Structure 1
Amino acid sequence: MTALLLPGNTGLKSWRLDAKCLARGFSINELLGDWLPPELGQSLLHIKTQLVLNELLNNAIDHGLLRLDSNLKCDAAGFSYFLAQRKQRLAKLRHGFVTLDLTWSHQEGRAVIQVEVGDSGPGFDLKAVLQGSLTFPSYAGRGLPLVRYLCKDNLWQSATGKVCAIFVATDIST
């Protein structure tokens, strides 16, 4: 059995990505590289962690800080415009931040990862997005449902507005 799954093996890591860091760009792999245990390699659990982080961080950046509207992504041209606006706004970003908290624990023989992502933006109603009361064009609105699926519905918004997700693996290959 890998050391990852041994009782008592826990970890906590927090990041605050400021405007300068976000404008310069960063890699999810770089963030995870100094935190997730190396035994994970490119396991399915590692890939799930990357996907969940990528979706939640991009939502925080795109909609929380940059105030980009998903409805811009109504078609291929709109999606291209969205990406151009993202690049332009990131280059001009001088204020704001995104926070990321990752917790790794072992519970009842399973690896558990909790992700919390927040931003200094105005916030949004996660429940409305997940219940489908907000409508998005076909090129938008897929990220949070994907996270909810990967996390088996363990996705919620904290009292402070952070989006929180938990996913569990019975072994490092799942």
Structure 2
Amino acid sequence: MLRDYYDTEWGLPVRDERGVFERLSLEAFQSGLSWRTILAKRPAFRAAFAGFDPDVVAGFGDADVERLLGDAGIVRNRRKIDATIGNARATIALRDAGGLAELVWAARPAVTPAPRTAAEVPTTSPESIALAKTLRAAGFAHVGPTTMHALMEAIGIVDTHLVGSHRRGSSGVWA
């Protein structure tokens, strides 16, 4: 499962609102947990959060929160559930200013890291710190610098595949 995700999805560009919202939400749920846990639960997350449709999730109320807290298929953390609902509302509010995907992709650095070993792969960057600050100012929660760096990696904004990896440069974003 992890190898398939790494080889076919991780690091490839995601530029649509729903796709970025889903990845942002899943990265927030992953905070403090293993990515394997989140990836294994992704189908349940998609079902529980209406396919990560921001318009639907933004309308979730108390009954939905209780439903989600009772859903053993997802991570049942009230703060992360509340953050996802609030982040859907913040996503909608960004539409008049270009949208979530445009805001996140605006954090693309001038150059991408070029790690040769796993120890050289960064977990934050000046851009992820700035993105976290910008998103928090726009009403987002659970969007710290490390989480935003992971999002930037996942959707192709930075390429942290190791130099020499068969995936290095595969996003087409970085040569």
Structure 1 length as normaliser, TM-score?
A: 0.31
Q: Which structure shows the higher strand fraction?
A: 1
The structure number with the bigger radius of gyration is: 1
Q: Which structure shows the higher helix fraction?
A: 2
